[in-house]
Every structure is written in C-alpha cells, then in structure tokens.
Amino acid sequence: MTPEEFYWKNKLTNKEYMREIRIRSLSWLLDCFDRGTIRRRTIVNLIPESDLISLMKQLEIEENYEVCAIIKKILDNIYNPTINTLMSEAKKLEIIQHLEETLQREHDKFGGGNIEIINGLTKKLNQLKGE
C-alpha cells in the first residue's frame, strides 16, 4: 500500500468514525438541553437543522429508528418548539386566564365584539390548552 492509498483509506475511516461520534452525542445533547445546561441558541448555531434532517433520512434508510426518534425529539423541542414546551405550567395557566378574561370582555361588547380578535384569541387559547 502506498502512502497515498493509506491516506485516503484512513480519511474515509475518520469520516465514518466522526459520524458515529455525532450520532452517539445526540442523546447527550438532548439530555443537556432538558436539564438546562445548554441553551437552544448554542445548539441551533452549532448544528444546522438541515444537517439533522439529512442525517435522519440516512438513518431511516439504514433502519436505525432509535436514533431517528432522538433526532425527531431534537427537531421538535429545539428547532421547532411549540408554545407548550417553552413555558412553565404556572405561566401557561396565567396566560390562559388572561385570554379567557379578554375573550369574555370581547363577547360582552355591543354586537358581540370584533370577530377577528375573538378568532385569534380562541386559536391561541386552544394551542395553550393543547386542543
């Protein structure tokens, strides 16, 4: 084997090794995020969402569904969070109470209130309640 052949063979092995290290670190990353030891902005700046999506597609082809589930959780919780994952239960209840009070005041207005405001607030209320 020539030095050039060794270089290219070693380089390919390093790529596969680095891919495995990245895959194994995803569950650790999710655990750190859940514990609050790493910020959303740090993760988003270090790992592009498109890389995670392409990795998930490759893993689906390889039928490695356990890691796909971890990537899906990362995408849902970090890159595309819903309102419910971003705030505490007490804060949610407070916002729900304010929305219900505002909706009631709007309904009590002469003529039933502004329908656009009522529809928008109802939509937000249903999102918070998880309906």
**pTM strictly above 0.75:** no
Enumerate the domain spans of the chain.
3-81, 85-129
Instruction: State the alpha helices, DSSP H only, in the chain.
Output: 3-35, 40-46, 49-61, 65-74, 83-86, 89-108, 115-129
Q: What is the DSSP letter of 79?
A: I
Tell me the pLDDT band of 15, cut-offs 50, 70 and 90. confident
pLDDT, tens digit, 9 for 90 and up, residues 101-112: 988 888 888 887
